[in-house]
Structure 1
Amino acid sequence: MLVTMNDILLPARKGGYGVGFFNAVNVEMARAVIETAEELHAPVMIGTAEILLPFMSLERVAEYLIPMAQKASVPVAVHYDHGLTFDGCIHALKAGFTSVMYDCSTCDYEENKARLAEMVKICHAMGVTVEGELGHVGDNEGAGKLTNPCDFYTNPEMAADFVSATGVDALAVAVGNAHGDYKFPPKLDFERILAISDETKIPLVLHGGSGLADDDFKMAVKKGICKINIFTDLEKAGRAGAQKALDEGVPSLTKMIPYEIDAMKKVVEEKIRLFGSDGKA
């Protein structure tokens, strides 16, 4: 069933478990996520990010994701991740997404707050939930890599003001996490997560989940993380499935599809069980 982020994350916060958000830029990825969630009776979030739109447009993603979510036997929120522009988020609203992230984290504090408050007002009027980001989660490499990531960590006291002023439904935090593949094991600031959770009392979001150790995930959820974003691990699994098919001499693209889906389903199952959302639908 198609639901909002609050329908999934508020019970997760109350129940002390986490829920996976998986980017799905094609039908095979979407099938792997939703079929596994149904098999495990788990709520799940699925969608795309603005940076991924060159590979599959928002309209095309909406055409398969929203009907699949509507027909699912478990709660599925369709989320637009890292919306970097106002117009992009509005586009997602019009396309039928039930949740958007308006990422103004590279703006100064007051501008981030003002922009997000405006988006929350619009989205809530349409029954759509909103995620914001305070601090800034960088990348593990490339142009988005931060020289001193701790300079951009989320401040718990500022987070309380930010949430109160914007009315945002979930907050992405910077606590030692980063997007992409980790070159070295990250050191998450778990006490900072707990402090932010205590100050804001809303679901917290961990971006850059691919590559974290199992114990890090468990501790992060224990301290207040309710939504964990996964893409790199899913994408790598799909590629490995395709490679296995090629290595085994599979003769056609259509016969490669089960290999890709099976490989990705293993990752989704692992994360759902790890986050503790299995059986929670």
Structure 2
Amino acid sequence: MALVSSTPLLIEARQRGYGIVAFNVHTLEMLQAVVEAAEESRSPLILQTTVGTVKHLGIEYIVGAAQTAARRVSVPIALHLDHCQDFELILQCMRAGYTSVMIDQSMHPFERNVEMTRKVVEVARALNVNVEAELGKVGGVEDDIRVEDDKATLADPEECRRFVELTGVPTLAPAIGTAHGIYKGEPDIDFRRIEDIAGKVEVPLVLHGGSGIPEAQIKRCVSLGMAKINVATELKNAFSLSLQQSFAANPDDLDPRSYMSAAKQTVKRLAQEKMRLSGCAGKA
């Protein structure tokens, strides 16, 4: 099948109480790994690329690979642009075939965030493309966006309600205590805040900073309304560590097909585990 918008997938996920995992991929092997994991797990899937990966691989290559993958499997796949602040790049990705985009204006005042998000929503609606926006500031490092711990702010539930009402955005990523990257200790997630936000907005909520969150916390977030679970750093690290281990064990093996295959299998196993934790396995 063709790539699909993630909007109906996420609406169903929130209504039925499971989360769809969105994996940031940086290579063809990583993309293949999570697609194979989704097909074998019978799970809907969201492929994600950061702005840095778009610049590294090129929009056409990414869209071409994602479209090919979608045609080869029977589970629904969406292609999402993560954390983009550039309106023109968002337009380019939507025109090229991305079926979901994130306009991240969380670093600006509420009014500016509303204005830019509404602008993207108007274009995306005509193209049947999902839009995600962020309220509050999620801490940590995502690509070249860095938010120090003391600058991270949690989303206000009433502001979330007003924001969705003013913008018509179909998915919302509220800052609730998670952080991009790998946690040094246990995440300090504000579950009451998730519950309050979910009680005020009907749109699916997005959990950023999903790498390394304990199973019980992931399941609780999903049960409270988090329908999209982002996993980036954990996947990237697993892929890279597998390559390191392959070179350490076989320093004379210079065949990329060998060590890339091992890394791909590592990513695939991790992706299947994340699908199980989020509850989307068997939901395609």
TM range (shorter): over 0.9
Hey, what's the Cα distance between the residues in 1 that align with 2:71 and 2:171? 23
Task: Note if 1:88 corresponds to 2:107.
Answer: no
Q: For 2:209 and 2:52, locate their aligned partners in 1 and report how far apart those are by CA, in whole Å.
A: 14
Give the structure 2 partner of residue 207 of structure 1: 208
- For the pair 1:50 / 2:51, whether they are aligned, the reply is yes
Q: Among the aligned pairs, what percent are the same residue? A: 36
CA contact (8 A) 1:8 1:44 kept: no
Unaligned runs of 5+ in 2: none
In the alignment, is residue 21 of structure 1 matched against residue 14 of structure 2?
no
Alignment of 1:111-122 (within 5 A): 111-122=112-123
Q: Which amino acid aligns with 2:150?
A: N
Q: Which residue of 2 aligns with 1:224?
A: 225
The superposition leaves residues 195-250 of structure 1 with CA deviations (integer Å, 9 ceiling, x where unpaired) of 11110111000111112111111111111101011111111111122223223324
**1:49-105 Cα distance to aligned partner (Å, 9 max, x none):** 113334322232122112212332101011111111101110111110011111111
Partner SS state of residue 132, structure 1: strand
- Equivalent positions of 1:168-187 (< 5 A) are 168-187=169-188
Q: Which residue of 2 aligns with 1:164?
A: 165
Structure 2 equivalent of residue 258 of structure 1: 261
- Alignment correspondent of 1:272: 275
Report what 2:147 is aligned to. Answer: 145
Partner of 1:65: 66
1:258 maps to a residue whose letter is: S
Q: Is the 8 A contact 2:39 2:73 kept in 1?
A: yes
Cα distance in 2, alignment partners of residues 144 and 256 from structure 1: 32
Cα distance between partner residues in 1 of 2:58 and 2:183: 28
Equivalent residue letter for 2:51: E
| Root-mean-square deviation (Å) | 1.6
Return the TM-score normalized by structure 1.
Answer: 0.95
Mean alpha-carbon deviation: is it higher for 129-138 or for 249-258? 249-258
SS of residue paired to 2:180: coil
Secondary structure of residue in 2 paired with 1:3: coil
In the other structure, the counterpart of 1:100 is 101
Task: State whether residues 137 and 147 of structure 2, in contact with CA within 8 Å, keep that contact through their aligned partners in structure 1.
Answer: no
- Looking at structure 2, the residues matched to 89 and 129 of structure 1 have their Cα atoms a distance apart, in angstroms, of 12
SS of 1:33's partner is: helix
Deviations along 1:243-267, one digit per CA (max 9) or x if unpaired, are: 2322332441111121011100111
- Per-residue CA distance 1:37-60 (angstroms, 9 max, x = gap): 000100010020113334322232
Q: How far apart, in 2, do the equivalents of 1:123 and 1:53 lie?
A: 19
**Contact 1:47 / 1:65 at 8 angstroms: preserved in 2?**
no
Alpha-carbon distance in 2 for matches of 1:102, 1:140: 17
Amino acid at match of 1:166: T
TM-score, normalising length: structure 2? 0.94
3-state secondary structure, aligned to 2:74: coil
Q: 2: CA distance between counterparts of 1:256 and 1:238?
A: 10
Aligned partner of residue 276 in structure 2, secondary structure:
helix
Give distance in 1, aligned partners of 2:194 and 2:117: 21
For residues 174 and 265 of structure 2, what CA distance do their matches in structure 1 show? Answer: 32
The answer to whether the Cα contact below 8 Å between 1:98 and 1:128 also exists between their aligned partners in 2 is: yes
- Figure out how many residues of one structure are paired with residues of the other and give that number: 280
Stretches of structure 1 that go unaligned for 5 or more consecutive residues are none
